[in-house]
Amino acid sequence: MGRQGLGTERDARINRHLKSRHLKAQVFKWVCFASTWVGLVFLVALLFTVSQQAFRYMWERTETNPFVVREMIEHDPSFLARAEEICWGFEAVFTPLDEAALRTGRDLRIQRMVKFHDQQSFLITLREDEPELYSQLGINPGNGTRWRMLASNFAQFFNNFPSRNAENAGIRSAIAGTLWMITITALIAIPLGVASAIYLEEYTRENRISRFIEINIANLAGVPSIVYGLLGLSLFVGYFSMMKTRFPDSEMFSNPRNVMAGALTMTVLILPVIIISAREAIKAVPASLRQAAYAVGATRWQVVRHHILPAALPGIVTGVILSISRAIGETAPLITIGALTYVAFVPENVFSGFTALPIQIYNWVSRPQKEFHDLAASGIIVLMIVLLSLNAFAVTIRHRAERRLKW
């Protein structure tokens, strides 16, 4: 009896203990689950913010109910009624204030401030997301506001050069610069990277030198990108500067911070990534393929050319695409080598000065005006569409190859 009583007490204690242990395990599971979601939520928030801002740029709001400063209303009661009309043709009627005044306007959370030719009256449009300000001024903001897509904005954005005026700014020179740079980078980096990978996998035995090269490449992949920028500044820009002092009249070397310097910097930046991924792809080709080819008398290069490369191609292409997409998004090294931030021309050859999409975006982000942030968001959307489609392409290739080839 006493024993049994003790047993129940102990059972109860164990049960309590067990319950708390299970509870802890459950809580732990949910904590881990929530952590995973934090990353995903941030991704969604990021995409949402960027698209919202880009939307604001691409779709201009039609102000049908602008706020006109009190003096104006008192002066002319019918002004409000005519506001839509006036707002539509404002460029003809008003001249924009200078930039300093616009900046003050931004601090007051005012979207657009235009001045009459008489230099005394103002027309002010408030940002829609400032309800307190509207209510302070006793007007109703939501009434009649509508969105209208500016097809011309869209075309303008791709066709125009950067401008001090946010409404006319575009990414033409940035896109051209990125295309030039990436094309040259790819032309140099892909053959070099794949050749290195082939040499390291197929031609060397495991020895000290090959191990040294391997460690070296692994460490190179971890070097911050800005350090590559310093390398490019000292080596490539330094070289072109030297050529410029040597041939001061030469048109070719007039700008040492040219497309070629940028492309070479990007090449050394992505080379380790290409080599590592190409080696992985080559390693995955089964040894039996090689042995069969050697057995029928193929030379080393024939084995590589006819058997290893075709079999490893999907893996190599995936790695190459991912590294190219990294090069497209890199900003810091290009700023370090001094690629221009304001370029109103399209590069004509590899020795032209250039800008690139991420640099243009940085230039817009670093300005205080909100309008330029909207522009930056639109640039980011273009960049992200390019990068995500490249990524999707890479994933598709990998997926297909995995399905087709089963070793």
Binding mask of the shown chain, residues 159 to 198, with x at each position contacting another protein by CB under 8 A: --------------------------------xxx-xx-x
Instruction: Mark the segment that binds another protein (CB under 8 A) among 49-57, 89-97, 118-126, 138-146.
Output: 49-57
Q: Is 258 helix (H, G, I), strand (E, B) or coil?
A: strand
Instruction: Mark the segment that binds another protein (CB under 8 A) among 20-28, 71-79, 85-93, 95-103.
Output: 20-28
119: region left, alpha or beta (phi > 0 left; psi from -120 to 50 alpha)? left
Among 6, 32, 155, 344, binds another protein (CB under 8 A): 32
Within 345-374, the residues that bind another protein by CB under 8 A are: 358, 361-362, 365-366, 373
Can residue 38 be called a binding residue for another protein (CB under 8 A)?
Answer: yes
Separation between Cα atoms, residue 109 and residue 358, nearest integer Å: 28
Neighbouring residues of 265: CB distance < 8 A, sequence distance ≥ 6: 228, 229, 231, 232, 236, 333, 334, 337
Can residue 316 be called a binding residue for another protein (CB under 8 A)?
Answer: no
Q: What are phi and psi of 258, to 5 degrees?
A: -100, 180
Please report how close the Cβ of residue 368 comes to another protein at its closest, in angstroms: 9
Q: Is 353 helix (H, G, I), strand (E, B) or coil?
A: strand
Binding mask of the shown chain, residues 269 to 308, with x at each position contacting another protein by CB under 8 A: --xx--x-----------------------xxx-------
Please report how close the Cβ of residue 337 comes to another protein at its closest, in angstroms: 8
Please report how close the Cβ of residue 139 comes to another protein at its closest, in angstroms: 25
Within 237-276, the residues that bind another protein by CB under 8 A are: 238, 241, 268, 271-272, 275
Please report how close the Cβ of residue 276 comes to another protein at its closest, in angstroms: 10
The closest of 163, 124, 186, 181 to 319, measured between CA atoms, is 186
Can residue 101 be called a binding residue for another protein (CB under 8 A)?
Answer: no
- Which burial class, exposed, middle or buried, applies to 269 when counting CB atoms under 10 A from its CB (0-12, 13-18, 19+)? buried
Measured between alpha carbons, how far is residue 230 from residues 226, 227, 236 in Å? 6, 5, 10
Can residue 315 be called a binding residue for another protein (CB under 8 A)?
Answer: no
Please report how close the Cβ of residue 120 comes to another protein at its closest, in angstroms: 33
